[in-house]
Structure 1
Amino acid sequence: MSVRCPNLKGIVAALAVLVTYSLPVTAQSADLQDEAELLTALATADDAEAKRLDRQLTAVWSKSGSAAIDLLLKRGRDALEVGDIPTAIEHLTALTDHAPGFAEGWHARASAYFGAELFGPAMADLERALTLNPNNYNAIFGLGAILETFGKDGLAYEAYQRALALHPHHEGAIQATERLKTQIEGRSL
């Protein structure tokens, strides 16, 4: 028994397009659910568990859904790691140009700009990253670091507190709040 379909190629092509464009949306929805679960667990985790959850969140946030974009992020981060800031900025600028909706690209480029002491562009990229992903406690911490650099200690302290509300074991935010606590809250008599 056979079924004749006059436009089989067209149907198969349409189905392939439908499946192709449906997969990233499904994967992104699963990541968002994972992110929410991971953030909830992180808020009450002990130190060891917090490190594991932090790695998982970083992995979730680092998935763009595109192998090419993920490669640009890796290359940018690798360049940052070895101190090659101009190369990092080049890779991460290509990333943000091609994937403007990928929050981690903006966050990574903000880190590169901060390393180059280009604080205005770093602040703009953090604003974009946090608009796309307001739960990225590392970006919030970066915002605090820039504010502290400009002597805006009260605002920096608030940013560090916000990062700690999401990730109570964030070492940089803990150290920063301890450093600024006396200035912000005053000394006890």
Structure 2
Amino acid sequence: MNARNPIFHLSLAVCLAAAPVGAAPLDDLYDALRTAPPEDAPRLQAEVEAEWSRSGSAAMDLLLERGRAALDLGDPGGALPHLTALTDHAPDFAEGWSMKALALAQLGQTGPALADLRRALILDPRHFGAILGLAVMMEDMNRPEQAIDAYELILTIHPNATEAQAGIDRLRATTDGPEI
């Protein structure tokens, strides 16, 4: 990570330092994902994502499912009430905040989306989906250095994350000058 924006780095550092450690199964999956060979990474990523989707409440899981379904249909406005109810009733559920941030970002509500991503990362600092959301938002805001930092952070958690490496490669191609 670079020192181009100390506030951005401080925010990431606060999220990572202050975050509670997740449940043991998720911790084990993150550890396995970090050291997985490329051929095992997709399966482990799917297992992590399945764990993210488990709130511990059938009602909250249903709200998440409905929010995701609306997002899949391209209806972030329809997703937002479900995801807002989810975060209201399950404020310690990181995936709820991450998905709500996605809906807000798609609605052009950047500030609230960033706040929700921050909350998700406080709850789960290794939530590479939330970090990916942050990276994409930084790209959209024309902040390539911060986007690269976020993509690099993903690679420390999930070294086989092709989206993160592709993001770094794409941004470096546009931000680095030609080689001499």
- Post-superposition Cα deviations, 1:123-177, rounded to whole Å, max 9, x if no partner, equal 1110110011100011111111111111111111000100111112222212110
Kindly indicate whether residue 148 of structure 2 is the aligned counterpart of residue 157 of structure 1: yes
From the CA coordinates, give the structure whose radius of gyration is larger.
Answer: 1
Aligned to 2:53: 62
CA offsets 1:88-108 (integer angstroms, 9 cap, x no match): 011001101111111110001
Corresponding residue of 2:73: 82
Q: Which residue of 1 aligns with 2:96?
A: 105
Kindly, what percent of the aligned residue pairs are identical? 45
- Matches of 2:155 and 2:46, distance apart in 1: 16
CA RMSD of aligned residues (A): 1.4
Provide the aligned length of Structure 1 versus Structure 2.
159
Sort the Cα spacing of 1:46 and 1:93 in 2 relative to 1 into closer, same or farther, 3 A: same
Q: What is the TM-score of this pair, normalised by structure 1?
A: 0.79
TM-score, structure 2 as length reference: 0.83
Deviations 1:68-123 (A, max 9, x none): 00100011001111112111011001101111111110001011111212211111
Of 98, 110, 113, which aligns to 1:122? Answer: 113
The answer to whether residue 61 in structure 2 is matched with residue 50 in structure 1 is no
Which consecutive aligned stretches of 4+ in structure 1 deviate over 4 angstroms post-superposition?
183-186
Q: Which residue of 1 aligns with 2:129?
A: 138
Instruction: Work out the CA distance in 1 between the residues paired with 2:125 and 2:53.
Output: 15
- Alignment gaps of 5+ in structure 1: 1-30
Q: Secondary structure at the match of 2:39?
A: helix
Structure showing the higher helix proportion among its residues = 1
Task: Read off the aligned partner of 1:113 and give its amino acid letter.
Answer: L
Which structure ranks higher in relative contact order (CA pairs < 8 Å, sequence separation ≥ 6)? 2
Whole-Å separation in 1 of the counterparts to 2:110 and 2:164: 19
